[in-house]
Amino acid sequence: MKNTGVLVANDLKRERLKSTNANLHRLGISNVVVTNYDGRKMTSIFKKFDRCLLDAPCSGIGVISRDPSIKVQKTFDDVRKLSHLQKELIKSAIDCVDAHSKTGGYVVYSTCSISVEENEAVIQYALQHRYVKLVESGLEVGSNGLTAYNEKRFHPSMALCKRIYPHVHNMDGFFVAKLKKFANGEKSQEAISTAHEEQQATQQLKEKKKKATQKKKAQKLKKREQKQKTKEDDVEKPEGQESNSQIKKQQRREKIKKDKAAKKEKAKELSQ
């Protein structure tokens, strides 16, 4: 950004802010506002950001190689509690972003965990409760996100997420998902929320338009055929014979004359 625009760096733990400020001064960055708020309440303070990066608090399962104590310190209950917190945080992050931003409307969600409960399950929750869709992360390294895990089934677009495994990529375990916000506000479960669903809706609309166009073409063709048939009937016939169109015209004239005569007689009777 070259020190243009404004960055807001928020951390819940106050003791971390000293090192954050020190690093900002060391790097010569002057466009950052450092804050100390609960991320779940950020929407009441900041709104209409162009972009948001949520480095969510997690179990740290992906960095066990550097910190083996995680294996004995963290339990599945911890993972479930963190998953709940992450869902609240991602909702707050999405609400802070403006869908109508000309240059943004993006939210990046990341954790240093490889558990499904902290990653795909959180993104699935966001897709179901906010007007967002998954887009390409732009990362060349990593495996695709999971669309199924045990009895759980996630949206096909979850494959756009990236999973980095220590034993495969020789890096710390990591998860990254990039979301594009296309409308502000909360949403119902039935509303369109992902790129895949949007494509389905667009395809259905195209099919409807195609059917309507085909119907119109068929109607026009039918009219042309009728006109052509009428013209063929009007082709000169032997002397003494009239064309079908001429006969129909004559019949119409006679009917009009009869109607007029009937009206005149009715008027005379009323006058008498």
Asked if 36 contacts 20 with a C-beta cutoff of 8 angstroms, the reply is: no
- Which residue reads 């020789």 in tokens? 170
Residue 108 corresponds to which tokens in the numbers above? 């990046």
Catalytic residue from among 58, 96, 112, 161 = 112
Amino acid type, 97? V
112: annotated active-site residue:
yes
Secondary structure of residue 149 in the 3-state scheme: strand
Rounded Cα–Cα distance for residues 153 and 125 (Å): 12
Q: How far apart are CA 103 and CA 8, in angstroms?
A: 17
Are β-strands 162-164 and 174-186 bridged in parallel, bridged antiparallel, or unpaired? antiparallel
Element (H, E) at 22: helix 17-27
Residue with tokens 């990341």: 110
Q: Looking at the annotation, which residues are catalytic? A: 112
